[in-house]
A and B are shown apart, each in its own frame.
Chain A
């Protein structure tokens, strides 16, 4: 044995160097896994090196925690449940090392578990308790024992009140980041106390809280506050915002979207002191007029402005064009009132724009696209979804002038093969959305496949003319493809899936309504795409149990599957139980599914978190079984939607246009 050790050349390499190698490998979980399986010493080195853990089930925790002693970040979001016993185990095994723990979406732990964690893990700085809707104030009192806590997320903890937040405010004096979004029970008093006690706060998310101006004065005294989110705070009004004239110098990002009671009268007092403001979100708020835009004239640091869903006037847009700041990011998504004139006056002044979102600006025409492409040559992201007046010629300009584009959304547009040919010049393109583009064919996509080798995400939803040759070109040209949507592309056959099986990184495949594909094609994908995590084969009538078996065998990373309207039966479903990751299953309208088979499937898939089932099964399954599964952390959604008639995509598109003003 000693001899063996001497023979191992890696014994001569310092552990630190191996750690550096492992750091580089870290992105690829399979590579790390292979590394640890090489030999005992590699296994030991890998165990020492790993510092973050995302276990699938809590019953594996004891083994995992004893294998990895140096865990600093523990993500329990994938566990369908976490019991107090598991938490006490965590708090004992990682007493000193643990710095961050994530419980979001994980039910079933109690105050005592949290208390043990807070008292034992002295170095814990980050706790995420989002979505714990049943969490009570007493649990927050337990959290308050974590004296070194810096980051706390409590989004959607609907049962907590000012009292709990008060405990946290007093206990966790080092708090820098707190998210209280949707904590409807928390009001002025709790937030006021938080601002008084936690002087180091730099991020504060108070979205949808019933707070009023009262707590704003104490918030404005926070010296380090950089990011303030006040989305949907209806209680905040113009009238008394004047108190804040000099507050919040440190503020860098402000979100007052959906605050209907803040207008151009109150906004200046909120932002005048904050000359360092970089990011401002005014989405779904009061109309963007020149007087509103005028308050921001002098903010030279401003980089990103989001006005989604606001009514904007030409004057307002022109005033934005005269700001002394040079914007990097502008979002006008779903803004009514955006015209060619207004948009052109903005983009000609802000030539440095990197990201532009003009989704559903239905009044703009080719003229806007021409001025955008003319002045903003360095755009990396452009979203032009549903700009219906823009003609096919305009998309040529995008390809000709904006070569740095990484993200392009052309959903529901007139773009054609010629446009795609020019767009294929954008060699940096990683995300391309061509959903409901009825003018594009294989020819255009073959250009894309040849030109855009860095493509990661491709959306071809209902782009009906697409056939197998387009997918072949994409699969060959874009080896890094991770997500593809070919839903309702009715000419797609197994050949496409065979080509896609050559994309080893593929994680998401949506082929809903592709009635020509069969189990054979699915088998090829299962064998070829080991990383597959999300699969949607709804309405693929030709897929049956034969397709499930290879899936069960090879797709060990599969987490989410939609099998509605396919020909899969009990046997196929039961075989899926061998996929330990499987958490989310939608099985509506399966003809071959029996109550007994379903019961067996549900029992066998131990990690299930969410199952969508037809409502009829609710009464066919034993109540005790459902209760047991729910206690195991599985959530049921009972659907009783009647099968809808098949829509012709063209007529469906026309219907949409009818709805438009």
Chain B
């Protein structure tokens, strides 16, 4: 399915689309545009070049830029957490129809916040435009990524139209956030190649997904790399042991000027497909493989540590696993941080958010309780009707509240007042202990009843 179409559905508030796994993926991929955002790329094209530009341009303030960027980062991070929580909720109530109004409301607010982020991004990048204009000659050479918001056919756009072009490119980056990951790998596109100046190759789906791409013509054994195949071939006879047979085949053909090769995705409707009107080719076979797996395949690899994050490219999983669990600073909104000061900055910024204490911490008491006493205490906890868990069953339960104005960037009206983490613990051990809770005052059940 076309990304554009999906996004259109997304904005058309088709509730069923929520169940689409690739939309779930949307939430986890909201972060990449941050890394791929044009502002960030402009900022660090090349240290030397930057120095040069800085001397030319007095009014460009890197500190202010950094400020803007970190603000944006925080906003996007937050929005991500929020969409994440929506997705989490979806998971929980999957199978039940969603109230149309609620979806629309959430949709609107998410879109509103996205828009505000985009506007912020543009104003940040807009401040840089004079700087961009000053370096038309160096820009394509030193920072290929800049091309992303240059028109395909033009070198340095004029200052006036720059903003609208920028807007365009930003839209691209938000709609097609999957691509940014490819760009991160270092295979950024956007060289100013005119259509027809390069050869387009399109591998078939099976070829892309095949574990091996090089097969022995004699025994049929498959290999991932041609070099390995050549090593293998040596076993089949002395004729394969000559230096010519062992040499890299490309070396021979390097003499004739080959047409630049670019690749197309076999998925119809994909922007990386050659039939797409805004076709953006992929640079290498590796790009094709990663793109296809990430965008058009199931996420088969689940992180064994958190059991929630899923990936279709095993390298992505490994990258994730390196950092998984290190985000130990947790906010009540579900957002995690790898640094404590970032968490506190987040909490200081938003109303109603509070640090979430890890569960294993709750077992601590102020001393050794004698056994009889502690069990008595636990019983009491179980029996006390004072534990009104209306908001504490799940943080997301309170997000359910359709009456509350739900704005992701302003939680003032959202009731997070409940006790978030700790009370869950005593009830974790048995289903039955939860039963009495769900009977009366629990707003979570009320809400799901309405659903």
Contact = CB atoms under 8 A, between A and B. Distances in A.
A245 interface: no
B344 A162 contact: yes
Contacts, number: 131
A113 B377 contact: yes
Interface string B346-357: 011000111101
Given A108-B367, A111-B364, A138-B361, A116 B344 contact: no
A138 B357 contact: yes
Interface residues of A, number: 46
Contacts of B308: none
A116 B419 contact: no
B386 A91 contact: yes
Q: Chain B at the A interface: mostly helix, strand, loop or mixed? A: loop
B354 A110 contact: no
A135 B366 contact: yes
A115 B424 CA distance: 13
Nearest to A131: B366
B384 interface: yes
B373 interface: yes
Given A115-B419, A137-B357, A193-B348, A110 B384 contact: no
B6 to A, nearest CB: 38
Interface string B365-400: 111111001101110110010111000000000000
A83 B421 contact: no
A111 B376 contact: no
Contacts of B347: 166, 170, 193
Size band of the B side of the interface?
35 or more
Contacts of B369: 83-84, 108, 110, 631
Contact of A119 (B362, B366, B388, B426): B388
B409 interface: no
B340 interface: yes
B238 interface: no
Nearest to B359: A138
A144 B422 contact: no
B380 A111 contact: no
Contact of A171 (B354, B364, B426): B354
A110 B355 contact: no
A632 to B, nearest CB: 8
A193 B370 CA distance: 37
A92 interface: yes
Contact of A141 (B366, B380, B417, B422): B422
B380 to A, nearest CB: 5
A141 B370 CA distance: 24
A497 interface: no
Contact of A111 (B352, B354, B422): B422
Contacts of A630: 368
A502 B267 CA distance: 104
Contacts of B357: 136-138, 141, 163-164, 167
Nearest to B423: A115
B354 A137 contact: no
Contact of B364 (A91, A92, A134, A167): A134
A576 interface: no
B366 A107 contact: yes
Interface in B242-293: none
B5 interface: no
Contacts of A120: 386
A190 B347 CA distance: 11
A144 B354 contact: yes
A159 B365 CA distance: 11
A84 B377 contact: yes
B420 to A, nearest CB: 8
A112 B370 contact: no
A617 to B, nearest CB: 22
Given A113-B377, A170-B354, A193 B368 contact: no
Interface string B412-445: 0000010111110010000000000000000000
Given A84-B380, A111-B422, A631-B370, A136 B361 contact: yes
B364 A138 contact: yes
B341 interface: yes
Contacts of B384: 88, 92, 116
B55 to A, nearest CB: 31
Contacts of A136: 357, 361-362, 364
A120 B419 CA distance: 13
Nearest to B417: A147
B340 A110 contact: no
Contact of B355 (A85, A109, A163): A163
B365 A170 contact: no
Given A83-B373, A85-B380, A110-B369, A197 B348 contact: yes
Among B365, B374, B426, which residue has the most Cβ atoms of chain A within 10 A?
B365
A302 interface: no
Given A115-B419, A119-B386, A166-B344, A85 B376 contact: yes
Nearest to B382: A112
A196 interface: yes
Contact of B348 (A85, A159, A196): A196
Interface string A548-567: 00000000000000000000
Given A111-B365, A115-B422, A166-B347, 7 more contacts: A107-B367, A116-B384, A119-B386, A138-B422, A147-B417, A159-B364, A631-B369
Interface of B: 340-341, 344, 347-348, 352-355, 357, 361-362, 364-370, 373-374, 376-378, 380-381, 384, 386-388, 417, 419-423, 426
Interface of A: 81, 83-85, 88, 91-92, 107-113, 115-116, 119-120, 132, 134-139, 141-142, 144-145, 147, 159, 162-164, 166-167, 170-171, 189-190, 192-193, 196-197, 630-631
Task: Return the 5 tightest CB-CB contacts between A and B, nearest first.
Answer: A84-B377, A110-B365, A136-B364, A170-B354, A166-B355
9 contacts: A84-B377, A88-B381, A111-B362, A112-B378, A134-B366, A139-B364, A147-B417, A162-B340, A189-B340
